[in-house]
Structure 1
Amino acid sequence: MTSRTQRTAVTEMPPIKRRYLPSLGAFATFEVAAKHLSFTLAAKELNVTQGAVSQQIRLLERALDKALFLRKHNALELTPEGATLFASVTAGLDTISAGVAAVTGDEGPQTITIAATDGMANYWLKPLINSFRADHPGIGFTVFASDENDTLRNYSEVDVSILCGNERCEAGEELHFLFPEVAQPVCSPGFMQRIGPSPSAEALGQVPLLHLHERHWSADAIGWHPLGWPEWFSAQGVDWSRDFALTSNKVGLLTEAAIAGEGVMLGWHHMVRSLVRQGRLVFAHPAPISMGRGNFLNCRLKSMDRPAVAAFVQHLLRQVKAQGEV
């Protein structure tokens, strides 16, 4: 039985005026815009127009009678009020999601969404997805692969992302070092027969070379100092200057050309290891090159609460360790 004192305390509590809150949709739009600090990127994620996002934010600011963003030339910043609201809205939406899962008994979607660069997705990530799905056929994958778009990892549906030499980790994320960046000359077995076994660095400079263009390294999702044939020959103490047989900013195009026997490329160990194991490529020279950079696995913490995501991350880390990449 409730006591009189308890009843009075409940009665005297100030009411929470939830009926006067803006719509949940407005808060959801604000959260995405605040996460990206861009109405354009928020519109892409929400699959609406940029104008619709701007209007939602204006209506929310009007309802709260507070500016949430500082609008600068080609840039947005959160105001102090906006930063406070962002933290609260994010926590609130996470709580709602957890409550829905508890009520419905749904452990979350059985699709894992991953962001990575083109080469990593094709030659490193996809084989790991295949081996995982062999034991978990009911789990699906969505892979966002791009060398140009470094904002993919911030999309709300992305569970894990492969970061190319980027150690950034923000609140709500978990970061794992995977392996260093190491490259070594590779070619097809047939091409190796043509040039002969164990060619010297000088001799390798006379054969058709497949080169990763500097544009690859300046792409938004990478942004590293180039690591290519000029750096490899310099590391071998060889003064080399020739035209390349084929140059591209895409790792996949060069890899397929090497497999087809069109020349020698610098192959990144984590991308060519499975191809070497299959006999489709061989190492054309024993000297690797490294610039001390690494690759990282970034996991969204709330995604790790889903058994499917947690299981895949553990599978990935086990395979990396078994392959000797850490």
Structure 2
Amino acid sequence: MRKLPSLPSLRAFEAAARLQSFLLAAEELHLTPSAISHQVRSLEEYFDTRLFTRSNRRVELTDSGRRLLATLSPAFDMIEEACRDLSPKTAAESLSVHCTPSFASKWLGPRLPAFMREYPGLTIRMSSSAEPVNMLKEGELDVAIAYGSVRAQAGVVVEALGAERIAPLASPRLVGDRFQREDIAKLTLIESKLNPVRWRDWFRENSLKMPDRPQPSFDRAALVLAAAVDGLGVALESVRFAERELASGELVIVGEGLYRPIERETHFFCYRAADRSSRKIQQFHDWLVRESRRLACDE
């Protein structure tokens, strides 16, 4: 006969320790924070040792708590995996993904057919907006691909999708064959309002004086690139977004080799820590990472 503390108390402790919050654990397990606290206290009484230190509404694991979590989390992952394998399989599984409109149309969308061929049993449900989403409040979302910068949030895992090259892009008609380093200041500079790298940053990085004149601006990378293709001026954008235009020759990287390259991590894969063992999320994550690395090798 196994001698174990109650399973509910172990589940409550594991969730609270993993999420570093009694409140988040309560939301995950559909309990009240006081119920989580009661279960944790009963476990501490069972072991006759403190598992958390509590101060000013914060909880931190003790050494004993860290040892217990290191064993419990893998054990619960194995139990969940075994139950999933024995559960009836549905004909199709869906993954709800949220990202910015430009990432959806310029990078992810063109690659989705390849993903669907690799994972025919997984259907992508995509939504997009420029506004950031709260993964803990948007329960219908499985994954969010954030753009720009992401604030750390307890209960949410955030992983960068690799560094991206930010470069000046323009129609070859604007650049010509004898482009000099200082010539970029003579072109119309199109501002991409959401890009974390702005023209002033680029000019400073390349030790050049930025021209003092008005700049047309757009709030979507797709619009910025379309304006550059139409010859409005030179766009400062991620090469990741301009794959098709560069391949077709509609755009070129201005002054290739003349300027100091700028690379930034600008896209981030986000999901709830409670879904860490989700197979569909892991499959989508691994596929995105492979695609991002393939692009980096091609640049």
User: Cα distance, 1:185 vs. partner?
Assistant: 1.0
2:25 aligned with 1:54: no
Whole-Å separation in 2 of the counterparts to 1:274 and 1:201: 26
Extract unaligned runs of 5+ from structure 2: 151-156
Stretch of structure 1 that moved more, 103-112 or 232-241? 103-112
**1:78 aligns with one of 56, 61, 82:** 61
Q: Which has the larger radius of gyration?
A: 1
Q: Identity over aligned residues, as a percent? A: 19
Q: Aligned pairs, how many?
A: 275
Whole-Å separation in 1 of the counterparts to 2:36 and 2:95: 30
Whole-Å separation in 1 of the counterparts to 2:91 and 2:67: 28
Partner residue of 1:271?
A: 241
Partner residue of 1:170?
A: none
Letter in 2 for 1:33: A
Partner residue of 1:257?
A: 224
Partner residue of 2:6?
A: 21
SS at match of 1:16: coil
What TM-score results when the alignment is normalised by the length of structure 2?
0.63
Whole-Å separation in 1 of the counterparts to 2:56 and 2:216: 41
Letter in 2 for 1:16: R
Whole-Å separation in 1 of the counterparts to 2:55 and 2:33: 14
User: Cα distance, 1:21 vs. partner?
Assistant: 0.7
User: Cα distance, 1:75 vs. partner?
Assistant: 4.2
**1:211 aligns with one of 191, 200, 204:** 191
Whole-Å separation in 1 of the counterparts to 2:135 and 2:254: 37
Partner residue of 2:77?
A: 94
**1:132 aligns with one of 94, 115, 118:** 115
Partner residue of 2:297?
A: 324
User: Cα distance, 1:207 vs. partner?
Assistant: 3.7
Partner residue of 1:103?
A: 86
2:214 aligned with 1:228: no
SS at match of 1:266: strand
Judged with a 3 Å threshold, the aligned counterparts in structure 2 of structure 1 residues 107 and 316 are, in CA distance, closer, same or farther, namely farther
Whole-Å separation in 2 of the counterparts to 1:158 and 1:139: 13
User: Cα distance, 1:307 vs. partner?
Assistant: 8.9
Whole-Å separation in 1 of the counterparts to 2:76 and 2:121: 27
Letter in 1 for 2:68: L
Letter in 2 for 1:79: T
1:185·1:288 contact (CA, 8 Å) conserved in 2?
A: no
Extract unaligned runs of 5+ from structure 1: 1-14, 167-172, 218-226
What TM-score results when the alignment is normalised by the length of structure 1?
0.59
Root-mean-square deviation (CA, aligned residues, Å) is 5.0
